[in-house]
Each structure stands twice: as structure tokens, then as C-alpha cells.
Amino acid sequence: MWRLFADLSLEKRVPLFAGAALVIILGTFGLLDLQAVNDSRNHALQERLVTARAIAGHIDLALGQTLRTLEMTAELLAPRLEEDDLEQAKTILSHAFEQLGIFKHYIFLLDVDGNLLWLISRSDVQEACVGDDIVDRPFIGKVLRSSGPIISEVQCYMSDGTSVVCLAAPIKNASGETIGFVGGAIDVADPTIGGFVNTLQLGETGYAQILDANGVVLASISNGSSEQKNEHSARFAQLIKEKRAVVSECHNCHESGSSSEKREDILAFASVSITDWGVAIRQAEGEVFAEAHDLERKLATLTFLAVLAVVFFAWILMRGITIPLGSMTLAAERIAAGNLSQGVSLPRNDEIGRLARAFETMRLRLGDSLEKVTNWNKQLEERVQQRTVDLEESRREIMRLYEELQRKEQVRRELLRVIISVQEEERRRIARELHDETSQALTALSMGLETAGHSPGASAAEIIQRVDELRPLVVETLDEVHRLIFDLRPSSLDDLGLVAALQSYAESRLESIGIKVHFDVNVEDVEQRLPSQTESALFRIIQEALTNVVKHAEADNVTVALRFSEAGVWAKIEDDGRGFAVDQNLGTNGKRSGFGLLGMSERVALLQGSVSIDSHAGRGTRVEVHIPLDAQERS
């Protein structure tokens, strides 16, 4: 249920809340209204009851005073009747009649048996009720039986149709015996009794009635209509008997003067204390409650107007909230969809306006942040691309190095194979030279010496001559042996050092064929000896360079430069021969004619040195070698 309510749009929720609040407010006001209307109705009812009581009270007062006046008159009449002074009694009675204005019609004097002694009437006409047989009337009988003043029921009717009520008081002598009665007839509708109700404001439908003990109407004061008896007579008689005062609503009452027409009336009733009479006030309910109904109508109109006002203001409030919220929701959805270009503008200073401004600031900052993030992303992407390119380059370089390594490995293996085959070839050459040259020379020498020693008849001079002839062969053989030994390992390298060994080699191999060799050595460092391995490697490197000069350069001059320092050895072999294309002969790929230069590079690499070969066709060749030295190695 709550979830259903939470899912409702604001447009529905606000009127729902307003409606609920309205129902509560209206309910509260409705209860108060009902209370007020009820109070008004009760007040109207009580007002009628109070009026009825006031009339009853007034009747009590008027009748009481009249009875007391009659008693006083009886006291004045008593001595006259004792003395049978009727004339004087008539005078007193006339005087009392004038005094008691309440007795509108007549005043009478009765003897103790009820015979009429005297009657004074205001009209000249002798009334029907005043006669000789007045004693037979129930009231006279009651008067004769009474010891005090009494009030009759409706007694007789005057010629004009007016009903009258008689009041009488006994006349007692000094010993307390009743000697006569004095009384009079009053008109209940007389203003001095109940007629004053004519002046009451009972509206158009209201009227008051004075009722006797049987509920018979003694006097009715209304808008010209009265009834002697009505449908409530029995109830009124009961109320009079019980001396009660009530007010009630009478539904379906008969309209006065018309028995067929029914209406709803209000009845207020109060009993008269001094006698068994009652006062009833009756008025149409609509008129009694006119004020309450008017209040009801006013409150209903006011409530309706309040509802309209609340609904109108709720609608204005709702529009004031939902419209800007709607536009902000649209803006939020636009932003959520990535559209930050359209701004949010609500020129208001309330909370919604502040919210919109905060929202706009957020949008702008979000836009900035998004731009920054986009730039960062772009930069990152560029860097990633750059890194990818670098990595690709590195990968290609690694591949190239790998292939280079593989080629070098292949070359190394080939070199190893060549070295082995060169060694074999060298051994074969030495064996061939020993066999062809040295062995042949020694054989020839041996045969020559044998011939010289065993020649019979040869003179000593001839033997010496023959031995002398053998001498060049011995020298030549010895040179050959020396050359072989030098090729295997120059002894001068161990004995005299690198420079001397190189000089010896240059003399024997280059200068012997007419190539001039110039040595450029920094003499002060000549004494310095290199490690044996370094020295022999350097010798082989320079030897290969010089051999190449002999084999390929067709040069006239060769310069061998050597520099010794703490850091290492630097050597340069430069010729003025025909030169060659270095790339084709030194690289790891392509065809090559031999392995001398490659072997040179390998040796230098083993010593962590470097070699550079600079050569151009027709401009000679320059080979530079640098071998680094450690302090320990030099010692």
C-alpha cells in the first residue's frame, strides 16, 4: 500500500495529501459546526420553554394577587353581611369591582347557600351565567365546599363567545364560619392575565395557549386562530397534573386551523402552580430553528468556499512545485543521456530556485569534468597508441636482434668449423712443408754429407768444397724451420713483446715483398706488458690486417700505430692500397670471401673491445682497434 503510494507521481500525491488534509479539517470544522448548530437549536428550544415558564409564572402572579384581593374584600364584607347591611356590602363590592380591573365582566356576592345576593356587571346585558340557579353550577358547589379561595374551570360563555373563569373567596365571620362568598369572572385572554403573550414575538407560525386541567384551551393567542381542544389535550392534561415543564419536537402535528395539513412543530409547555392550568407555546420547527438553519447554511457556504479556496491554493501550490520539478526532471534526464549543452534556468528565489541553481552549477562542473576526462582519455589513448608503436618497434627490434643473433650463431658455428678446418689445413701445410721442403732438404743434406764423407779418393779440399756447397741448403732449411715456428707462435712475442713481434713479422712478410712498413708507437709505454691473452689476440688481429694487406691491398706503404694507456690499447693499421667495400665483407649476411675480418671482430669482442674498418675503393684501408684494460689485468 505504502509502496503504491510512494510510486505515485507528485502531481497525484499533492492533491491526495491536500484532499486528506481537507477531509480532516472539514471533519473537524463539521463537528464544530454541528455543535454550534445543535447549541443554536437547544438555545431556541430553551427560549420557548423559558417563555412558556414566564407566561405561567405571570398567570400565577396575576391570579394570586386577585385571590388575595378577593380575600381582603371578603374580610371587608364579612361584618356587613353579619349585620345584613346589604347596601353597605353593595358599596364595598362596587368599590372592589372598580379596584379589581381583572374582573372584566362581573363580580358577585353569594350567601352561604349559594344564592346570588348581588352581581355587578360591566355591561347592561344580564349574562346567562348569572342567574338564580347559579348555586347548581359545579363551581358554586365547589365554592360552597371550599374553605379558601378557589379558581374555577371554564365556567360560562359570554354572549360574545368569550369563555370566562370564575374566582371566589369565602366570607367568614369572626368565629370563622362561612357566611357568604364573593367572586368574579375573569377573561383569561385579558392582557392582565395571559393576554400579554400577544406581545410576544413568536414569528409568523408561533402561538401560545393557556390550557386548563383537561387540556382545554382557555385562551389562545395566535395569529387569529385558536382551538378549544387539540390533539395534545390528553398529554397536556397529564403534564398539568404532574406540574411539569417540557419542550419537544412535534412531528406530523396538525396545523392550527387545518386538521388535514401536517407540519413539524416545536412545543414548549409549562404548568401554572396556583391552579391546574398550563401554558403551551407552539411554533413551526422551520421558524424556531431558522437561526440554526441560517447558521447551518452560512457554515455550509463558508465550508464550500473554504474547500474551493483550499483546492485552488493546493492546485497553485502543486503547479508551483510540479512544473519546475518537471523541467528539472527533464534536464536531469537530458544530463543522464549525456546532453550537457542545455542549461537549467528557473528565475526563482525559493528552495526550488536554489535547487535549480545548484543543479546548473553541477551541470557546468560535470561538463568541465567530462571535458577533462575526455581530454585525459584522449591523451591516454595517444599515449597507449604511442606505447603500442614503441612496443611494436621494440618487438621488431627484438625480432631483428633475434634474427641477428641467429645469424651470428650461424656464423659462429661456421667460424668454428672454419677454424677447425684451418687448423687441419695448417697442420697439413706444415706436414707438407716439412715433408716437401725440410725433409727433402735434410735428405739432400744427408746424401750430400754421405757422398762427401764416403767418396774414396776425394781430397780434403774437395770434401770441404762439397760441405760448403751443402751450407746454403742448411741455412735455407733452418730459415724454413724458423718460418714454420714463427707461423705457429712467434717466440719474439713471448720474449720481446708485442711491438717487436709485429716488427719481426712485418719485416719478414711485408718488407720482403717490397711493402714499406712504418711503426708509430708511443715509446714511453713500450715497456708496458699486456696480459698474455690480450697480447697474443692483439698480435693475431694486427697480423690478419697485415696479411690482408699482403694478400689483397696491392699497397706500397703500411702504417702500424700503437698507443698504450691506463685505459687500454689502441691500434691502427692503415695502407694505401686499393681498398674494398667493407659492408659486403664484414657483415653477418651476404657472401664473403674469407673469415679473417670476422675472426678479427670476434677476437676484439671477446676482449670487450671495439674494431672499426674504414675503406673505400682506391683510397686504402684503415683498421682501428681498441682493447680496454682492467688495472688487475695489467699487473
Q: Which stretch binds ligand ATP (CB under 6 A): 52-60, 341-349, 427-435, 577-585?
A: 577-585
How many angstroms separate the CA atoms of 172 and 148, rounded?
10
How many angstroms separate the CA atoms of 623 and 558, rounded?
11
How many angstroms separate the CA atoms of 223 and 226, rounded?
8
Q: Which is nearer to Mg ion, 281 or 555 (CB)?
A: 555
For the chain, the residue count is 635
Q: Report if residue 548 touches Mg ion, rule: CB under 5 A.
A: yes
Least gap, CB of 565 to ligand ATP (angstroms): 26
Terminal-residue alpha carbon distance, the chain: 101
**Binding site partner of 549, from Mg ion, ligand ATP, none, Cβ cut-off 5-8 A by kind:** ligand ATP
Q: Report if residue 609 touches Mg ion, rule: CB under 5 A.
A: no
Q: Which is nearer to ligand ATP, 149 or 577 (CB)?
A: 577
Closest CA to 108 of 140, 84, 85: 140
Least gap, CB of 413 to ligand ATP (angstroms): 16
How many angstroms separate the CA atoms of 385 and 621, rounded?
46
Q: Which is nearer to Mg ion, 320 or 594 (CB)?
A: 594
Q: Which stretch binds ligand ATP (CB under 6 A): 211-219, 423-431, 535-543, 573-581?
A: 573-581
Phi-psi group of 316: left, alpha or beta (phi > 0 → left; psi -120 to 50 → alpha; rest → beta): alpha
How many angstroms separate the CA atoms of 516 and 378, rounded?
69
Sheet holding 178-187, edge to edge: 116-121, 106-111, 178-187, 163-172, 150-157
Q: Looking at beta carbons, which residue is closest to Mg ion? A: 596
> Binding residue for ligand ATP (CB under 6 A) from 553, 607, 611, 627?
553
Q: Which is nearer to ligand ATP, 380 or 420 (CB)?
A: 420
Q: Which stretch binds ligand ATP (CB under 6 A): 231-239, 276-284, 503-511, 595-603?
A: 595-603
Write the CB contacts of 258 (distance below 8 Å, at least 6 apart in sequence).
none
Q: Report if residue 615 touches Mg ion, rule: CB under 5 A.
A: no
**Binding site partner of 205, from Mg ion, ligand ATP, none, Cβ cut-off 5-8 A by kind:** none
Sites for ligand ATP among residues 283-312 (CB under 6 A) = none
Least gap, CB of 579 to Mg ion (angstroms): 15
Q: Report if residue 601 touches ligand ATP, rule: CB under 6 A.
A: no
**Binding site partner of 189, from ligand ATP, Mg ion, none, Cβ cut-off 5-8 A by kind:** none
**Binding site partner of 580, from Mg ion, ligand ATP, none, Cβ cut-off 5-8 A by kind:** ligand ATP
How many angstroms separate the CA atoms of 569 and 537, rounded?
12
Q: Report if residue 543 touches Mg ion, rule: CB under 5 A.
A: no
Q: Looking at beta carbons, which residue is closest to ligand ATP? A: 594
> Binding residue for ligand ATP (CB under 6 A) from 578, 588, 610, 634?
578
- 578 by DSSP, 3-state: which? coil
Q: Which is nearer to ligand ATP, 12 or 516 (CB)?
A: 516
Least gap, CB of 596 to Mg ion (angstroms): 3
> Binding residue for Mg ion (CB under 5 A) from 149, 194, 579, 596?
596
Site map (CB under 6 A) of ligand ATP, residues 609-628, x = contact: ------------x-------
User: What are the percentages of helix, strand and coil residues in the chain, rounded to 5?
Assistant: 60, 20, 25
Q: Which is nearer to ligand ATP, 163 or 548 (CB)?
A: 548
Q: Report if residue 551 touches ligand ATP, rule: CB under 6 A.
A: yes
**Long-range contact set of residues 593-602: C-beta below 8 Å, sequence gap at least 24:** 595/414, 595/415, 595/418, 596/544, 596/547, 596/548, 597/544, 597/548, 598/411, 598/415, 599/415, 599/419, 599/544, 600/541, 600/544, 600/545, 600/625, 602/412, 602/415
**Per-residue DSSP letters for 290-341?**
HHHHHHHHHHHHHHHHHHHHHHHHHHHHHHHHHHHHHHHHHHHHHHHTT--S
Q: Report if residue 580 touches ligand ATP, rule: CB under 6 A.
A: yes
**Binding site partner of 578, from ligand ATP, Mg ion, none, Cβ cut-off 5-8 A by kind:** ligand ATP
Chain-centre distance for alpha carbon 612: 78
Residue with cell 378549544: 228
Q: Which stretch binds Mg ion (CB under 5 A): 2-10, 70-78, 346-354, 592-600?
A: 592-600
Q: Which is nearer to Mg ion, 596 or 620 (CB)?
A: 596
Q: Which stretch binds ligand ATP (CB under 6 A): 26-34, 276-284, 395-403, 549-557?
A: 549-557
Q: If DSSP states are collapsed to H, E and C, what string results for 204-227? A: CCCEEEEECCCCCEEEEECCCCCC
Q: Which is nearer to ligand ATP, 318 or 549 (CB)?
A: 549
Q: Which is nearer to ligand ATP, 225 or 584 (CB)?
A: 584
- DSSP letter at 560? E
Query: Could you tell me the CA-to-CA distances from 438 to 252, 433, 445, 530 in Å, in that order?
Result: 175, 7, 10, 35
Q: Report if residue 206 touches Mg ion, rule: CB under 5 A.
A: no
Chain-centre distance for alpha carbon 595: 84
Least gap, CB of 597 to ligand ATP (angstroms): 4
Residue with cell 374584600: 73
Q: Which cell numbers in the block locate residue 119? A: 352581581
Query: Could you tell me the CA-to-CA distances from 77 to 93, 347, 377 in Å, in that order?
Result: 8, 106, 137
Least gap, CB of 602 to ligand ATP (angstroms): 12
> Binding residue for ligand ATP (CB under 6 A) from 222, 534, 585, 601?
585
Q: Which is nearer to ligand ATP, 425 or 468 (CB)?
A: 425
Residue with cell 413551526: 284
Q: Which stretch binds Mg ion (CB under 5 A): 13-21, 401-409, 431-439, 542-550?
A: 542-550
449: number of CA atoms within 13 Å, CB side? 9
How many angstroms separate the CA atoms of 253 and 626, rounded?
147
Q: Which stretch binds ligand ATP (CB under 6 A): 1-9, 264-272, 523-531, 572-580?
A: 572-580
Q: Report if residue 552 touches ligand ATP, rule: CB under 6 A.
A: yes
**Binding site partner of 595, from ligand ATP, Mg ion, none, Cβ cut-off 5-8 A by kind:** ligand ATP
Least gap, CB of 588 to Mg ion (angstroms): 17
Least gap, CB of 454 to ligand ATP (angstroms): 47
**Residue 425: how many other CB atoms lie within 10 Å:** 11
Given a contact cutoff of 8 angstroms between Cβ atoms, the answer to whether 596 and 551 are in contact is no
**Binding site partner of 363, from Mg ion, ligand ATP, none, Cβ cut-off 5-8 A by kind:** none
How many angstroms separate the CA atoms of 326 and 331, rounded?
9
Q: Which cell numbers in the block locate residue 158? A: 359570554
Binding site for ligand ATP (CB under 6 A): 548-549, 551-553, 575, 577-580, 585, 593-597, 621
Binding site for Mg ion (CB under 5 A): 548, 594, 596
